[in-house]
């Protein structure tokens, strides 16, 4: 187990290195000069040169790479090329917003998706099943930002239950939750659709297996079979999928953040990409990769909770 | 849904019969499954409208008429007009073009790259498989939307670049699918036999493995079109996909959101078209899965993003 975790962490470091290095060289190989983007079209050659010197863009690419890497080794993610703010501070300031959005939507997704998936599988071909499947298929097809706009229209513009304009850093935790509800719902409903589909299909697969027949033959009640025996086995594919979606959820959160005008690292990175802020893009994508890899590790480790037969080597 | 039974791998000398049978089953399924039939008709209609947009659209999607801005739906403008008085219906019709072009071609590109690599990895295993595995892990560590954004920003926003940017995030899925299915197929006798008479790896892959895994690939491909259409709209919504004044459902929604109070239909309608299109491809993919992949290879070897 310990050996397994160490091995996975090493591969995590390798993936993070590969991601940053790829992004680093890809950005420097294309013919786009960030200095020109920063200063605009009317910049003089001297001011362009000054920016290049300040940000180190005038140095040979390999030297830039060595400086960046040695910074990373010392835990320094570098400074933004646009506003000279520390990248780690910017990410740390915005990360809580993205994290609360991701966790809240995941909670909504699991709270709706898992019970609905079980219900539709158990009552296969009943009206509950049909409604559940329609919900899952349409939720699966809704772009999160479009669902966000519809929720905003219904609950903020017409019903006026929630504020339309979101200002942050004001108000206590009640206001903060108020601002979280609609964005979390718009992402969460879509996740619920994914989780419903997956829970239903793996539940149906499990219900056919021999151990269910044995349990029935022993006279165990149907609900006990469903929740104690089958659900446990269903959790593994469901949790795997949740882990795999995490990257997409975090990356996709930028759309929700844009619709609701929420701060977050998705929006931070989109801004950085638009402004060709090389340092912020490199380090930001590396942090993303770290999150994705760590969540997948946690997912793999959680398998033992649901299935004691799983051993790590 | 369909009752096509166990699709045992069929030796490579009978693909034409197999294909004919699949097509018949497909038509039969569509007849007995109204929602799938509606989805298929919707997609056909959308393709028709996109191809013949200049003849179908009532107005030029770019012609402005400021006096007539924000007009409500009427006999002249079925869906009303936008902030510049442009006909929304015509813009929606033209918006189907980038959606379908990017949706279909990015998936085709991802297949052309991912499937051969995946089959080779599954067939050869060893060092090559390990390197491919690393590449897949690295690609999966990038959030798909941000990676597409980065590519489009660096290489410029044009339709071919959008296709490239969006295809990259679906490559890992096709690699995994092709690799996983190849691992199963390569143990069948007909592959061993082909090997025994000296068939090369390329020949085994293209004549013996590919015909037997094409079903699951088409299923995942159809479902991926749904994802790619959504991705194109997302990029355009963020202002980095199809650039205005050209119409795309994503940038129509983006324009509409600025007038959410006065003219909500400007963002509701493009979003509805987008959602229905994604839904139709998902439904078609599900129907194809019942026909082409009754053993569920697609769900076991890949998990869609």
Give the model confidence (pLDDT) of A227-284 as tens digits. 778 888 888 778 877 777 776 777 678 888 888 888 888 888 888 888 888 888 888 8
Report the Cα B99 to chain-centroid distance in Å.
Answer: 10
Confidence of residue B9 (pLDDT cuts 50, 70, 90): very low
CA distance B202 to A147: 46
Interface A-B, measured as beta-carbon pairs within 8 A, has a size of 124
Cβ pair A255, B237 in contact under 8 A: yes
Q: At what angle do helices B249-257 and B88-124 cross, to 10 degrees?
A: 130
**Which tokens go with A140?**
């699966």
Q: What integer pLDDT is reported at residue A170 of this predicted model?
A: 63
Q: What average pLDDT does this structure show over A71-80?
A: 79
Given B134, B145, B226, which is nearest A141 (Cβ)?
B226
**Which tokens go with B155?**
């290489």
B66–chain A nearest CA distance, Å: 26
**Which tokens go with B162?**
């959008």
Q: What integer pLDDT is reported at residue A237 of this predicted model?
A: 78
Residues 273-302 of A with CB under 8 A from B: 273-274, 276, 281, 285, 288-289, 292-293
Q: What average pLDDT does this structure show over B252-257?
A: 86
CA distance A202 to A216: 19
Given A22, A137, A201, which is nearest B283 (Cβ)?
A137
The ipTM, to two decimals, is 0.82
Interface residues of chain B, partner chain A, Cβ below 8 Å: 134, 137-138, 140-147, 149-150, 153-155, 226, 230, 233-234, 237-238, 240, 253, 257, 260-261, 264, 267-268, 271, 274-275, 278-279, 282-283, 286, 299, 303, 305
3-state secondary structure of A79: strand
Kindly determine whether residue B305 and residue A248, on different chains, have CB atoms separated by under 8 Å. yes
Q: Which of A127-131, A221-225, B117-121, B223-227 has the lowest mean pLDDT?
A: A221-225
A184 or A301, greater pLDDT: A184
Cβ pair B251, B236 in contact under 8 A: yes
CB contacts, 8 Å: A259 with chain B = 257
Q: Give the ranges where B73-158 is alpha helix by DSSP (H).
A: 88-124, 126-140, 144-155
pLDDT at B12 over 50: no
DSSP state of B71: P
User: How do residues B287-299 score in pLDDT, each as one tens digit?
Assistant: 888 777 666 566 5
Given B253, B261, B299, which is nearest A146 (Cβ)?
B253
pLDDT at A118 over 80: yes
CB contacts, 8 Å: B278 with chain A = 141-143
- Report the candidate in A141, A133, A138, A147 with the shortest Cα–Cα distance to residue A105: A147
Residues 20-49 of A with CB under 8 A from B: 22-23, 26-27, 30, 32
Q: What integer pLDDT is reported at residue A166 of this predicted model?
A: 60
pLDDT at A132 over 60: yes
Q: What integer pLDDT is reported at residue A172 of this predicted model?
A: 73
Ramachandran angles phi, psi of A310, nearest 5°: -70, 125
pLDDT at A168 over 70: no
**Residue A181: exposure state from Cβ atoms within 10 A (0-12, 13-18, ≥19):** middle
Given B149, B150, B305, which is nearest A245 (Cβ)?
B305
Residue A307 — left, alpha, or beta (φ > 0 → left; ψ -120 to 50 → alpha)? beta
Place of tokens 């989109």: A270
Task: Give residues with Cβ within 8 angstroms of A188, minimum separation 6.
Answer: A104, A105, A106, A107, A108, A109, A112
The shares of helix, strand and coil residues in chain A, as percent rounded to the nearest 5, are: 80, 0, 20
A32 or A45, greater pLDDT: A45
User: How do residues B263-278 score in pLDDT, each as one tens digit?
Assistant: 788 888 899 999 999 9
User: How do residues B117-139 score in pLDDT, each as one tens digit?
Assistant: 999 999 888 899 999 998 998 88
DSSP count for chain B of H helices, then E strands: 13, 0
- Report the candidate in A256, A189, A246, A279 with the shortest Cα–Cα distance to residue B238: A256
Q: What integer pLDDT is reported at residue B41 of this predicted model?
A: 92
Q: What integer pLDDT is reported at residue B197 of this predicted model?
A: 86
pTM over 0.90: no
3-state secondary structure of B263: coil
CA distance A42 to A51: 14
Kindly determine whether residue B153 and residue A273, on different chains, have CB atoms separated by under 8 Å. yes
Q: How many angstroms separate the Cα of B97 from the Cα of each of B90, B185, B275?
A: 12, 38, 15
Q: What average pLDDT does this structure show over A119-127?
A: 85
């Amino acid at each position: 187990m310990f050996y397994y975790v160490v091995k996975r962490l090493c591969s995590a470091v390798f993936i993070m290195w590969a991601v940053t290095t790829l992004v680093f060289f890809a950005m420097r190989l294309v013919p786009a000069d960030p200095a020109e983007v920063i200063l605009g079209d009317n910049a003089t050659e001297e001011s362009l040169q000054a920016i290049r010197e300040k940000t180190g863009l005038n140095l040979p690419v390999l030297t830039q790479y060595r400086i960046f890497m040695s910074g990373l080794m010392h835990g320094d993610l570098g400074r933004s090329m646009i506003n000279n703010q520390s990248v780690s501070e910017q990410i740390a300031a915005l990360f809580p917003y993205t994290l609360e959005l991701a966790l809240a939507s995941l909670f909504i997704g699991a709270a709706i998706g898992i019970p609905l998936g079980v219900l539709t599988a158990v009552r296969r071909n009943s009206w509950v099943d049909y409604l559940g499947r329609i919900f899952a298929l349409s939720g699966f097809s809704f772009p999160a930002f479009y669902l966000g706009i519809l929720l905003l229209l219904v609950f903020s513009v017409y019903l006026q239950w929630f504020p339309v304009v979101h200002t942050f850093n004001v108000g206590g935790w009640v206001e903060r939750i108020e601002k979280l509800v609609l964005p979390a719902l718009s992402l969460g409903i879509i996740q619920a659709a994914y989780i419903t589909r997956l829970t239903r299909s793996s539940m149906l697969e499990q219900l056919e297996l021999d151990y269910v027949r044995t349990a029935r033959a022993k006279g165990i009640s149907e609900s006990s079979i469903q929740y104690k025996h089958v659900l446990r086995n269903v959790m593994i594919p469901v949790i795997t999928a949740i882990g795999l979606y995490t990257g997409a959820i975090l990356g996709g959160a930028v759309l929700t953040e844009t619709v609701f005008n929420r701060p977050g690292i998705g929006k931070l990175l989109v801004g950085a990409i638009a402004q060709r802020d090389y340092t912020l893009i490199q380090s930001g994508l590396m942090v993303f990769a770290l999150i994705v890899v760590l969540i997948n590790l946690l997912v793999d480790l959680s398998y033992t909770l649901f299935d004691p037969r799983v051993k790590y080597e | 849904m369909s009752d096509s039974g166990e699709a045992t791998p069929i030796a490579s000398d009978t693909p034409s019969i197999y294909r004919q049978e699949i097509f018949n089953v497909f038509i039969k399924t569509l007849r007995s499954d109204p929602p799938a039939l509606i989805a298929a008709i919707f997609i056909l209609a959308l393709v028709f409208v996109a191809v013949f947009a200049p003849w179908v659209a009532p107005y030029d999607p770019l012609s402005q008429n400021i006096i007539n801005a924000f007009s409500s739906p009427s006999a002249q403008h079925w869906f009303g007009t936008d902030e510049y008085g442009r006909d929304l219906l015509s813009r929606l019709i033209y918006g189907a073009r980038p959606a379908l072009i990017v949706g279909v071609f990015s998936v085709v590109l991802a297949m052309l790259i991912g499937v051969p690599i995946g089959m080779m990895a599954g067939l050869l295993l060893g060092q090559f498989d390990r390197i491919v595995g690393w590449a897949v892990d690295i690609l999966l560590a990038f959030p798909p939307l941000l990676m597409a954004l980065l590519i489009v920003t660096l290489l410029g926003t044009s339709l071919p670049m959008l296709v490239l940017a969006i295809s990259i995030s679906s490559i890992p899925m096709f690699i995994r699918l092709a690799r996983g299915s190849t691992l199963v197929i390569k143990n069948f006798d007909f592959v061993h036999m082909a090997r025994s008479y000296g068939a090369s790896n390329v020949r085994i892959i293209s004549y013996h493995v590919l015909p037997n895994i094409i079903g699951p690939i088409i299923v995942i491909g159809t479902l991926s079109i749904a994802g790619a259409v959504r991705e194109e709209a997302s990029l355009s919504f963020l202002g980095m996909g199809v650039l205005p004044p050209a119409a795309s459902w994503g940038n129509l929604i983006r324009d509409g959101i600025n007038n959410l109070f006065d003219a909500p239909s400007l963002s509701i309608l493009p979003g509805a078209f987008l959602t229905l299109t994604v839904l139709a491809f998902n439904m078609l993919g599900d129907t194809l899965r019942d026909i082409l992949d009754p053993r569920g290879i697609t769900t076991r070897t890949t998990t869609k993003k």
